[in-house]
Amino acid sequence: MSGYVIRRKVGEQPLWQHGSPLLGRLDIELTERCDNDCVHCCICLPEHDEDARRREMSTAELQAVLTQAAALGALSVRFTGGEPLIRDDFEELYLFARRLGLKVMLFTNARGVTPEIADLLARVPPLELVEVSVYGMSAQTCESATRCRGSYEEFRRGVELLLERGVRFVVKGALLPGLAGEVAEFEAWAATLPAMDKPPGYSMFFDLRGRREGGGSAAEPPAVGCDVERRNETIRRARLSPADGVRFLTRDRERYLKDMREFCSKFMRPPGDKLFSCGAGHGACVDAYGAVQACLPLRAPQTTVSLRGGSGGGGEGGSAAEPPAAASAAFDTARLRYALTEAFPRLRETRATNPEYLRRCAVCFLKGLCEQCPAKSWAESGTLDTPVEYLCEVAHEQARDLRLLEPGERAWEIEDWKVRVERI
Amino acid sequence: MSIALEDVYKPSEDVVAREIEGEIIIVPLVAGIGDMEDELFTLNDTGKAIWDKLDGQRSLADVVTALSPKFAAEDGTIQRDVLALVAALVARKLLTRA
């Protein structure tokens, strides 16, 4: 008799018999502001940046976005930031989303987890694991990353509240010098957390800030409160060297090689001149100011669709993605559908024109190892198709470690790459 | 708990039922319904047809009557299906008595 009602795990079985919905999940950046000031972060604006706060989507606008996401068939929404918990209306938005039948994935540093929020997450569970970012296992290491006194205490208290209330969460680390010296301690602690069924993931090859100086419109305001160049310099200093990064990735060599054999057999090939070979644009993200993006890091104004209307990207060449009728300044969530059905499919057809990209990236078989993508190119150079040297070096370091390349070889010059991939 | 034909049932306020691409997706709202992340409930075609009639107004007997013209089933089959589905939904806390 239980065949009438079927318990389903999303992802394990196809949910849809008659075609999948237009939108599976919506990512929403509730704010760019954060109560931390992490050295490696490509987003965070100061918590009390009043200008940023004023420009953020209102509660009503966010509720309209959530309603539209549900209408387009989304099963889940990711609340990220900045730090989503610093919004005064977080609980209201969370409950609104859950009452729409959306599961909520929450990315947080846990500092803002109060007893009330922990109770709420326990009573009305998000149905997705909360993801908590960890910057250190002591006040000294954590706060050398967050640059906020007291942040470690608050993080530990937040995590304790989640544990006490039985809210299931996973942790992930930012591989900065502090945490890098505490990996064993971090992973031992992580293994004690009920929802951790594998070792934590790490961010380590940090992105530069995706909002570029001078880019500005209603949907893509200039980064007030954040000196872009200064922040990018700080991020560059926080990055691991390619050699150190690869050393960390290969610390469990046997497991790494096993994973890479499988991975490389599937994903190593030259990408050609089509810029989007990832999932960007198959779903959607909405930034704190109502710009619909093809993926979270891709801030290039010409690739976004503003829910607030206006002339779109502006400032940096205008927006090719905007619908022609977007002249009014009214907040219109129908533009989310437009982004998914018209602007993003068009965007995904974009081809590289930069000769350097065509000479190197388009014919490079390390695509599977390399994080080069339009978003990262935009953050580094202000175009969608400029090779990112740091990521190129990281990929080559990894390839040399895997014996895919000999010292001095450049991957885009290798003709027998298929044979080399098979040899791993 | 026994399920009787004269009883009236409605979707629990502790779940949200959504129709997406022709599928009924029942999403738990409060703790204690789905056990894990990523857990949802769907209904098969028979279940969906019955669910649509469980509006807190009709008795289960009315639901059987309303479904009879739609399904060319043997005598008693629809009634058995309705009672079985309601029992399954009640057991999972997806349905409550109105």
Of A95, A89, A93, A97, the C-alpha closest to A70 is: A97
Asked if residue A358 belongs to a domain, the reply is yes
pLDDT value for A4: 64
**How far is Cα A356 from Cα A340, in angstroms, rounded to an integer?**
30
Chain B CB contacts of A118 under 8 Å are: none
Contact A126, A98 (CB under 8 A): yes
CATH (residue range B9-97)? 3.90.930
CA-only gyration radius of chain A, Å: 22
Burial grade of B75 (CB within 10 A; 0-12, 13-18, 19 or more): exposed
**The total number of structural domains that make up chain A:** 1
Residue closest to A365 by CA, chosen among A421, A423, A408: A421
Query: Does any domain span residue A315?
Result: no
Crossing angle of the two packed helices A90-99 and A115-123, in degrees rounded to 10: 0
Do the strands B39-43 and B23-28 form a parallel or antiparallel pair, or are they unpaired? antiparallel
- The DSSP string of A242-296 is HHHHHHHHTSSHHHHHHHHHHHHHHH-S--TTBS--SSTTTSEEE-TTSEEESST
Q: How far apart are CA A71 and CA B21, in angstroms?
A: 11
Q: Is residue A396 part of a domain?
A: yes
Flag whether residue B13 sits within 8 Å of chain A, measured between CB atoms.
Answer: no
**Residue A419 counted as domain residue:** yes
Test A5 with B92 for CB contact under 8 angstroms.
yes
Classify residue A81: in a domain, yes or no.
no
> Does B21 contact A21 at a Cβ distance shorter than 8 Å?
yes
Q: Which residues constitute the domain of residue A398?
A: 263-275+352-423
Contact A125 B89 (CB under 8 A): no
What is residue A9's predicted lDDT score, i.e. its pLDDT?
65
Q: Which residues of A touch B52 (CB under 8 A)?
A: none
CA distance A139 to A144: 8
Of A107, A149, A72, A140, nearest in space to A339 by CA: A72
Kindly list the distances between the CA atom of residue A420 and the CA atoms of A64, A378, A395, B6, B37, in Å, as whole numbers in the listed order.
52, 31, 15, 72, 41
Rounded to 10 degrees, what is the CA torsion of A378, A382, A384, A387? -80
Among candidate residues A232, A235, A211, A210, the one with its CA nearest the CA of residue A223: A211
pLDDT, position A27: 98
Q: Say yes or no for a CB contact (<8 Å) between B89 and A5.
A: yes
- Could you report the per-residue pLDDT of A357-401, keeping only the tens digit for each? 999 999 999 998 999 999 999 999 999 999 999 999 999 999 999
pLDDT of amino acid A314 = 30
Is B81 touching A (CB cutoff 8 A)? yes
Give the confidence band of B46 by pLDDT, cuts at 50, 70, 90: confident
**Domain residue extents for chain B:** 9-97
pLDDT in tens, B1-22: 789 999 999 999 999 999 998 8
Smallest CA–CA distance from A128 into chain B, residue: B37
- What is the pLDDT tens value at each position of chain A, 424 positions in all? 346 667 676 555 566 667 789 999 999 999 999 999 999 999 878 999 999 999 999 999 999 999 999 999 999 999 999 999 999 999 999 999 999 999 999 999 999 999 999 999 999 999 999 999 999 999 999 999 999 999 999 999 999 999 999 999 999 999 999 999 999 999 999 999 999 999 999 999 999 988 876 443 444 455 555 678 888 999 999 999 999 999 999 999 999 999 998 888 888 999 999 999 899 999 999 999 999 999 999 999 999 999 997 544 333 334 555 655 544 568 999 999 999 999 999 999 999 999 999 999 999 999 989 999 999 999 999 999 999 999 999 999 999 999 999 999 999 999 999 999 988 8
3-state secondary structure of A159: helix
Does a structural domain hold residue A357?
yes
Q: Do residues A321 and A339 make contact, with C-beta atoms less than 8 angstroms apart?
A: yes
CB distance B41–A6 less than 8 Å?
yes
Computed over every residue of chain B, the mean pLDDT equals: 88
Residues of chain A found within 8 Å of residue B46, distances taken between Cβ atoms? 4
Sign of the torsion formed by the C-alpha atoms of A276, A280, A283 and A285: negative
- Pick among A1, A5, A6 to test the B interface (most B CBs inside 10 A): A5
Go through chain A and tell me how many residues it has.
424
Listing DSSP states for A22-90 in one string gives S-SEEEEE--SEES---TT-SSPEETT-HHHHHHSPPHHHHHHHHHHHHHTT--EEEEESS-GGGSTTH
Phi, psi of B15, deg, nearest 5: -135, 160
Task: Tell me whether residue A361 is in a domain.
Answer: yes
Distance in angstroms (rounded) separating the CA atoms of residues A233 and A142: 20
Q: In the prediction, which pLDDT does A229 show?
A: 84
